[in-house]
Structure 1
Amino acid sequence: MRRLLPVVLLLAFLLFLYWAFPLVGPLLRYGLPDPRGLDRPLTLLVYGVSPEYSGYHQRAPERFRGLADTILLVRLDPRASRVVVLSVPRDVGVDLPGYGWHKINAANPLGGPELLKRAVAQVVGVEAERYVAVSLEALYAFVDALGGVRVCVEKPLQYQDKAAGLSIDLEPGCQVLGGKEAEGFLRFRHDALGDIGRIQRQQAFFQALKEKALSPAGLPHLPRALAQAEAHVRTDLSREEVGRVLGFALRRPELVSLLLPGHFGNGWVVDRGALAELRARYFEGQALPEEVSLRGRSVALVYGPSSRERAHEVAERLRALGLRVWERPLLVDPPRTEVLENGPGLLARALGEALGVPHRVSGEALLGADLTLRLGP
């Protein structure tokens, strides 16, 4: 048995080298994760760059100067062990210095990441310290290398753009999406909710992506996925900062995803009062009152075909708690039962505890309701 131990250890070491080998290139550029992690909060502007085209159906070489059609203000907070992701809709109007009034996604082609950082700071009231730009190719590479991501498509998503070579054809149901299908799921915005519906699908996808990447099925593929996506990313983070960010990520902090609060108008009109509350809690670390009342609040009850009878019973229980209930049936069952809130999270926690179900802060919550309760199968 003692003779076998060195052989087993050697095989384990060789397997580890095989697993980690794809990361050799990125590690040489950025170094190993720093086990100390972050020693203070760090705010990043993370944005996805739309492809540029040099002709009909012909993508131009990647310059990272296309429209910023996915804009995220990310707060890495080691004190709270939390990652806060605030999605900023592309249609928010902003006065760009030197260029006048534009949709915020035009800041990147006009002035690059620095102008986009200034535009986001003007809208949100929080200035990003660093930026990370991601091209569409990173999505293909990461998702395909990971073996696809399972998401639930709530309704038919169909759209054709022949000039751009974009074809979206997804049927309702829970399914594993490869890189090309994931692009369609993340870029579709041709319905009543437009870009807001797209942001909500993006937040659902990122949650599913996180779960897949850290699952037993995803971990073996993670180094190759990261290595292949890294070539399609640009950042001004220093080598030391990358190491500290990776060290912080390895601690598996809580993920909070938010939609910039507002309503439809001339583009997306920001709700300044609700934004101030989110900014105080998640970006400025201010404590908020812990006691809240559910009475008089509204909740959207979302359920699929297998939960219709149960939904009526749950609706009565919600009304008994003093809530106003909106029922919203779907073509497919939500993947899990949970309470969602696009806000400080105190209401979601209160309802989750009252019902004995998980709760989460997420911009996936339905517009117009204080809370969303999803009924899983």
Structure 2
Amino acid sequence: MRRFFLLGLLALLVALGLWAYPLLGPVVRQGALPSPEGLKEPLTLLVYGSSPEYSGYHKRAPERFRGLADAILLVRLDPWAGRVVVLSVPRDTWVSLPGYGWHKVNAYSPLGGPELMKRAVEALTGVRAERYLVVSTEALRRAVDALGGVRVCVEKPMRYRDSAAGLSIDLEPGCQVLNGAQAEGYLRFRKDALGDIGRIQRQQAFFHTLKEELLSPKGLLRLPRAVAAVEPYVQTDLTRKERGAILGFAMKRPELVSLLLPGRFGGGGWQVDREALAELLALYFAGKGEGGEVALGGRLVAVVYGPGQEALAKRAREGLHALGLRVLLHPIDLAPSRTEVLENGPGLLAKALSAELGVPYRISGEAVLGADLTLRLGGDAPF
């Protein structure tokens, strides 16, 4: 019996070594292991993707992390509130910096790299990022493939081809497991009515799914391989101590809040709603509290439903009218996978409607533009 125990222990240690081995290189280079204490104070990061640069037709230049910025995120890691707040900044938002004039915010990456990007995002939001993290597009492919793919519900047909950039997107609607190349296509597609805003909403949905994937048994098993695959394609000014603290904070499974920079289309880009932005920053970046109660009466709710749910949507509209709400029916090509209330805002309205209907809610930029609230109708809708 003792021999079998020792053999079992040895096999366990070998398996653990094989699991952790891919992390050896990144740990040596980055010098960071999870800190048990995690973060002691909030930390704000500017995170963005760097588009590929080309030295000729079809020929990618060596990675300098100075391509046009994509998926621009202002991230607030808040250990006091136990949450991660991600504010997505549309790449087509115009901003002016002294000495540079007016440019779309994504153009400041090739003009001056991460430090200039931090200045540009600060000019837009009033928030200065303390650190930056730049990720090349190759990192996404490598991470998703290392995880064995990510299950995504593609809401409509997506087809686009850019021969010069080597990008080919051909996705059918439906819930499916996407490999790295397909996931990149899903996240970069913007040839629809919402353009970059629709892409941001897909990115937020994807990262919400990716978080769940990483915390699953399969995800945890493959996490070291994913970290090793991504590490060469990331540039950051985070210190070793900060990296360890962030890893320790992440292991505590903080709440994820994803927001879209409030605004509207106009002026050849995205125009910021300063009043709505100030409200979000006060709550999620300055921690000034959620305020008092809110009234649902007169608010506009977008009811999102798919094929075959027309009768359900009408019943939902009647139920919402009974609560004093205005309703906008918003059909889509693929029925939502679950029922939930969404709000791109402080969350008090979503919380109130959630309590009335007995369904979960999320703070997310995936909410329908122009509506105060979004109600997605899944198969478990209470109507």
* TM-score above 0.5: yes
Determine the structure 2 residue equivalent to 1:78.
Answer: 79
Q: CA deviation at 1:2?
A: 4.6
Q: Secondary structure at the match of 2:217?
A: coil
Name the CA distance, whole Å, in 2 between partners of 1:117 and 1:37.
25
Determine the structure 2 residue equivalent to 1:311.
Answer: 313
Determine the structure 2 residue equivalent to 1:14.
Answer: 14
Q: Relative to structure 2, which stretch is displaced further, 249-258 or 317-326?
A: 317-326
Name the CA distance, whole Å, in 1 between partners of 2:15 and 2:321.
56
Q: Relative to structure 2, which stretch is displaced further, 112-121 or 157-166?
A: 157-166
Q: CA deviation at 1:6?
A: 3.0
Provide the alpha-carbon RMSD of the alignment: 1.1
Determine the structure 1 residue equivalent to 2:334.
Answer: 332
Identity of aligned residues (%): 69
**Deviations for 1:208-228, whole angstroms, at most 9, x for unmatched residues?**
111111112222111101110
Determine the structure 2 residue equivalent to 1:343.
Answer: 345
Name the CA distance, whole Å, in 2 between partners of 1:240 and 1:101.
37
Determine the structure 1 residue equivalent to 2:263.
Answer: 262
**Deviations for 1:326-359, whole angstroms, at most 9, x for unmatched residues?**
1112221112111100000111111111111110
Q: How many residues align?
A: 377
State the TM-score, normalized to the length of structure 1: 0.98
What is the correspondence of 1:212-291 to structure 2 with a 5 Å cutoff? 212-266=213-267, 267-291=269-293
Name the CA distance, whole Å, in 1 between partners of 2:106 and 2:354.
36
Determine the structure 2 residue equivalent to 1:372.
Answer: 374
Kindly provide the amino acid, as one letter, of the partner of residue 370 in structure 1. Answer: D
State the TM-score, normalized to the length of structure 2: 0.96
CA contact (8 A) 1:33 1:245 kept: yes
**Deviations for 1:213-257, whole angstroms, at most 9, x for unmatched residues?**
111222211110111011100000011110000000000000000
Q: CA deviation at 1:375?
A: 1.1
Indicate whether 1:296 and 2:298 are aligned.
Answer: yes
Determine the structure 2 residue equivalent to 1:186.
Answer: 187
Name the CA distance, whole Å, in 2 between partners of 1:23 and 1:13.
16
What is the correspondence of 1:141-160 to structure 2 with a 5 Å cutoff? 141-160=142-161
CA contact (8 A) 1:96 1:115 kept: no
Name the CA distance, whole Å, in 2 between partners of 1:217 and 1:32.
21
Name the CA distance, whole Å, in 2 between partners of 1:28 and 1:58.
32
CA contact (8 A) 2:290 2:348 kept: no
**Deviations for 1:117-148, whole angstroms, at most 9, x for unmatched residues?**
01101101110000000001100100001011
Name the CA distance, whole Å, in 2 between partners of 1:72 and 1:97.
23
| Distance verdict in 2 for CA 1:321–1:2, change over 3 Å | farther
Q: CA deviation at 1:104?
A: 0.5
Q: Relative to structure 2, which stretch is displaced further, 131-140 or 204-213?
A: 204-213
1:352 equivalent among 342, 345, 354: 354
Kindly provide the amino acid, as one letter, of the partner of residue 272 in structure 1. Answer: R
Q: Which structure 1 residue ranges, 4+ long, deviate > 6 Å from structure 2?
A: none
Q: Relative to structure 2, which stretch is displaced further, 71-80 or 156-165?
A: 156-165
What is the correspondence of 1:82-161 to structure 2 with a 5 Å cutoff? 82-161=83-162
CA contact (8 A) 1:130 1:236 kept: yes
Q: Secondary structure at the match of 2:309?
A: helix
Q: CA deviation at 1:3?
A: 4.4
Q: CA deviation at 1:306?
A: 4.2
CA contact (8 A) 2:97 2:123 kept: no
Q: Relative to structure 2, which stretch is displaced further, 84-93 or 285-294?
A: 285-294
Kindly provide the amino acid, as one letter, of the partner of residue 374 in structure 1. Answer: R
Kindly provide the amino acid, as one letter, of the partner of residue 278 in structure 2. Answer: A
Determine the structure 2 residue equivalent to 1:362.
Answer: 364
Q: CA deviation at 1:101?
A: 0.8
Name the CA distance, whole Å, in 1 between partners of 2:285 and 2:4.
54
Kindly provide the amino acid, as one letter, of the partner of residue 181 in structure 1. Answer: Q
Kindly provide the amino acid, as one letter, of the partner of residue 56 in structure 2. Answer: G
Q: List alignment gaps of at least 5 residues for structure 2.
A: none
Name the CA distance, whole Å, in 1 between partners of 2:366 and 2:145.
25
Q: Secondary structure at the match of 1:263?
A: strand
Kindly provide the amino acid, as one letter, of the partner of residue 289 in structure 1. Answer: G
Q: Secondary structure at the match of 1:231?
A: helix
Kindly provide the amino acid, as one letter, of the partner of residue 211 in structure 2. Answer: K
Name the CA distance, whole Å, in 2 between partners of 1:350 and 1:15.
48
Q: List alignment gaps of at least 5 residues for structure 1.
A: none
CA contact (8 A) 1:96 1:107 kept: no
CA contact (8 A) 1:96 1:119 kept: yes
Kindly provide the amino acid, as one letter, of the partner of residue 221 in structure 1. Answer: R
Q: CA deviation at 1:192?
A: 1.2
Name the CA distance, whole Å, in 2 between partners of 1:329 and 1:288.
32
Name the CA distance, whole Å, in 1 between partners of 2:55 and 2:363.
41
Q: CA deviation at 1:188?
A: 0.9
**Deviations for 1:24-53, whole angstroms, at most 9, x for unmatched residues?**
111112221111100000000001001111
Name the CA distance, whole Å, in 1 between partners of 2:8 and 2:98.
63
